[in-house]
Amino acid sequence: MRTFIYIDGFNFYYGAVRGTKYKWLDFKALFSLILRPNHIISKIKYFTATVSSTAHDPEKTTRQETYLRALRASTPEIEVYLGHFLSHNVSMPLATPVPPKYFEDVIKTEEKGSDVNLAVHLINDAWLNLYDCAVIVSNDSDLSEAMRLVKLHHPQRTLGLITPDGARTNRTRTSIELRRHADFVRLTRPGALRRSQLPATIPGTNFTKPSRWS
């Protein structure tokens, strides 16, 4: 079964690997463990955005760039699609206001493009007959409409859903909206994440696992 995998990068990061030692992840190995043997992984589409370093973490951008290069070098099936961040000042209500101050100006940063890009690719690849099964790796209910349209117009396609679930295994709840349009649902368990790590140094390259991820 020709299988395409669509990863919502930030949803995956915050749901599965943030705060763990499993960030140096081999996606193909992971999904080969989670899916059944009849799934032939033809393409892995990874949707994310470039992060910016900060004063307290000046190596953040470098770590991400190293990881994306390691993915491309180690996994020929993977394609990376980059969105972007937008930052702007907004006035937000205080959780514990002290009159007369009820609001505070804050900098709000939002990741833009990844969920839209994923939805467009999911629908377009179905029309192009590129997959028999599409697996969405996310718990973002905003993707439910794209899944619904694929099932409506391409009922012969199989849709799978993998919920990012790492350190908080017992707390994660799969989105009801996404589950409604999925033919099967899986979770990313810590054991599978642990068994699906890239080599510390990618063979034939100088791409090495960041020391902070050890």
189 pLDDT more than 80? yes
Q: Which residue has the tokens 């989105």?
A: 175
125 pLDDT more than 60? yes
pLDDT tens digit string along 70-87?
999 999 999 999 985 555
pLDDT tens digit string along 11-22?
999 999 999 999
Which residue ranges form the domains of the chain, and what is each CATH number? 2-213 (3.40.50.1010)
Q: What is the CA radius of gyration of the chain?
A: 19
92 pLDDT more than 50? yes
Sheet of 158-163: strand order equals 101-112, 78-98, 40-49, 2-8, 133-137, 158-163, 184-187
pLDDT tens digit string along 52-66?
777 888 888 999 999
Q: Give the chain's end-to-end CA distance (angstroms, integer).
A: 36
